[in-house]
């Protein structure tokens, strides 16, 4: 099985299109979407509509922005730019897209006995997994050896060696245009493929991953896209300009 793994698209149609173009000649069987389809960007309906069109070809979990933009909570804890964007998004979402977002399940979602997905952490969709402590907590809440998560917008990986005589937890940032990781037996993995639509690791290129379960091989890619166009459309839409500017720097 080959999974295409997408996270944190954030209504950035330009980035999503570039990823889909890049992935066109690579085979995949199923899409894993780790949440935050909308919020921040100018194309909530196009992005949600595309995800919706995948139907059973995708397994998806909700992100915190999906929850707030769909009106399921008020987003009181959001900063003012995120809150402005979620209000803007809620007002513009077509009924069928709003309905689809509202129906997205909260993670973790078990994909197979080997793989599970979540947005933030396995215990809570709003919790960020940045530190080894966060990772340890996330590992303890599920049994699958491979966990894909989003929310931080930083491509990264935690590896837990489960052999009781040599317990260890390693953390690694996964930066670069193309990164290959071979997953070992007897280890557990928490993997963030990075963000399609709002990278925050100082690399403005869109991020995504493909995981081949037979080969136990993960590919992470970074793809150039029309950042200026995404920024222009954010500003033209009346969204906070800072949400366009940050795309230029991947920050």
Closer residue to Zn ion (CB): 8 or 134: 8
Closer residue to Zn ion (CB): 160 or 225: 225
* Phi, psi values for residue 171, rounded to 5°: -120, 145
What is the smallest separation between the CB atom of 34 and Zn ion, expressed in angstroms?
9
What is the smallest separation between the CB atom of 63 and Zn ion, expressed in angstroms?
6
* Phi, psi values for residue 244, rounded to 5°: -80, -45
Closer residue to Zn ion (CB): 36 or 201: 36
Closer residue to Zn ion (CB): 134 or 160: 134
**Closest residue to Zn ion, Cβ-based?**
36
3-state SS assignment for residue 193? coil
What is the smallest separation between the CB atom of 7 and Zn ion, expressed in angstroms?
8
The β-bridge relationship of strands 30-33 and 2-6 is parallel
Tokens of 71: 């009106």
The β-bridge relationship of strands 217-223 and 178-182 is antiparallel
Tokens of 57: 């070809």
Q: Which residues bind Zn ion (CB under 5 A)?
A: 8, 36
What is the smallest separation between the CB atom of 153 and Zn ion, expressed in angstroms?
6
- How far are the Cα atoms of 85, 108, 225 from residue 43, in angstroms, in the given order? 11, 26, 15
What is the smallest separation between the CB atom of 27 and Zn ion, expressed in angstroms?
28
Closer residue to Zn ion (CB): 85 or 98: 85
Residues contacting residue 128 through CB under 8 Å, at least 6 positions apart: 120, 121, 134, 151, 152
């Amino acid at each position: 099985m080959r999974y295409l793994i997408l996270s944190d698209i954030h209504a950035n149609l330009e980035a999503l299109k570039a990823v889909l173009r890049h992935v066109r000649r690579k085979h995949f069987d199923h899409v894993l979407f780790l949440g935050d389809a909308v919020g921040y960007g100018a194309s909530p309906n196009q992005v949600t509509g595309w995800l919706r069109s995948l139907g059973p070809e995708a397994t998806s979990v909700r992100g915190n922005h999906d929850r707030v933009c769909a009106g399921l909570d008020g987003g009181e804890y959001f900063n003012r730019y995120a809150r402005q964007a979620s209000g803007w998004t809620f007002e513009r979402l077509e009924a069928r897209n709003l309905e689809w977002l509202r129906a997205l399940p909260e993670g973790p979602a078990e994909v197979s006995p080997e793989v599970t997905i979540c947005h933030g952490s396995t215990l809570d969709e709003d919790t960020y997994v940045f530190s080894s402590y966060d990772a340890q907590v996330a590992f303890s809440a599920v049994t699958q050896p491979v966990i894909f998560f989003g929310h931080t917008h930083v491509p990264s990986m935690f590896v837990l060696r489960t052999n009781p005589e040599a317990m260890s937890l390693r953390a690694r940032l996964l930066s670069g245009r193309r990164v290959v990781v071979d997953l070992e037996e007897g280890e557990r993995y928490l993997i963030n493929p990075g963000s399609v639509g709002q990278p925050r690791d100082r690399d403005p290129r869109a991020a995504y991953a493909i995981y081949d379960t037979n080969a136990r091989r993960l590919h992470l890619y970074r793809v150039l896209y029309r950042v200026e166009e995404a920024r222009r459309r954010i500003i033209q839409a009346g969204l906070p300009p800072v949400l366009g500017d940050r795309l230029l720097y991947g920050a």
